[in-house]
Amino acid sequence: MTTDTLLAQLKHPNPHLRERAMLEIADTRDENTISQLVSILDDEDVTYRRAAVKALGVIGEDAVPSVVDALLHSDNVTVRGSAAKALAQIAINYPDLAFPKVGLQGLKAAINDSNPVVHIAAVMALGQMGTSAFEILVESLNTTDNVAVQVAIVNALASVGDPRCIEVLTTYANDENVDEYVRESATSSLSRLDLVMNYQRRD
């Protein structure tokens, strides 16, 4: 099957056929495949767009530079948000990958994106990166004055599963100067973090 045929299959209503197309695209890709997938990130068809995000996730590390470029330089909010989700997919699909620095720095920059769709997606993606994202998340938590971003970071820290998160979350949960909603989120994140860390210990 040609790449164009496979790309068209990403629109297919049958999720199994979409999955198969994603895997085949990743296996048979050439030097144009990644940019073709990135160009779908602004498509109006949500299914098609999500399938492109997932396909980039299957391709993995090689897709990171192009996806970061779209995340930081596209004028289209949908593209920037989808790019953050594609980086999250790569982290989910390749949990043992030391996530490329360009990806982490791109997401760090995207936390300051003016659009909430993008900055929340960037924080959620960092939450999938594990320990390598810890310092970026904490630095952003301490420097942002956007309550929605703070809440998203506090929630993301629960997923990171790093013991250092306990201290950060405890500080925020007990700080009277912190927004009440952030404090409540930090408290509930502490109990989630406990579950995540227990689960990791069982692995």
CA-wise closest residue to 17 among 28, 27, 7, 32:
7
Q: How confident is the model at residue 197 (pLDDT cuts 50, 70, 90)?
A: confident
Place of tokens 């594609």: 86
pLDDT for residue 161: 82
Residues 6+ apart with CB under 8 A from 127: 133, 137, 155, 156, 157, 158, 159, 160
Per-residue model confidence (pLDDT) at position 1: 76
* All domains of the chain in start order, with CATH: 1-128 (1.25.10.10), 131-203 (1.25.10.10)
The average pLDDT across 97-107 equals 95
What is the per-residue pLDDT for 154?
Answer: 96
Of all residues in the chain, the percent with pLDDT exceeding 70 is: 98
* End-to-end CA, the chain: 40
Three-class HEC string of 131-174: HHHHHHHHHHHHHCCCHHHHHHHHHHHHHHCCCHHHHHHHHHHH
Report H helices in the chain. 3-9, 15-27, 33-39, 46-59, 64-73, 77-93, 101-110, 116-127, 134-143, 147-160, 164-174, 180-202
Confidence of residue 202 (pLDDT cuts 50, 70, 90): low
Q: pLDDT tens for residues 17-30? A: 999 999 999 999 99
What's the confidence (pLDDT) of residue 139?
96
Q: Which residues fall within 8 angstroms of residue 130, CB to CB, at 6 or more apart? A: 91, 95, 160, 161, 162
**Token pair 């299959």 in the structure block, residue:** 9
User: Could you count the other beta carbons within 10 Å of the beta carbon of residue 138?
Assistant: 18
If one counts every other C-beta atom within 10 angstroms of the C-beta of residue 198, the result is: 10
Q: What pLDDT shows up at residue 80?
A: 98
Task: Check pLDDT > 60 for residue 74.
Answer: yes
Q: Tell me what the pLDDT averaged over the chain comes to.
A: 94
pLDDT at 3: 83
Residue 85 confidence (pLDDT): 97
Compute the average pLDDT of residues 61-84. 97
Give the type of residue at 36.
Q
116-163: pLDDT as tens digits = 999 999 999 999 998 999 999 999 999 999 999 999 999 999 988 889
Mean pLDDT over 53-63 rounds to 96
Which helix or strand (DSSP H or E) is residue 94 part of?
none
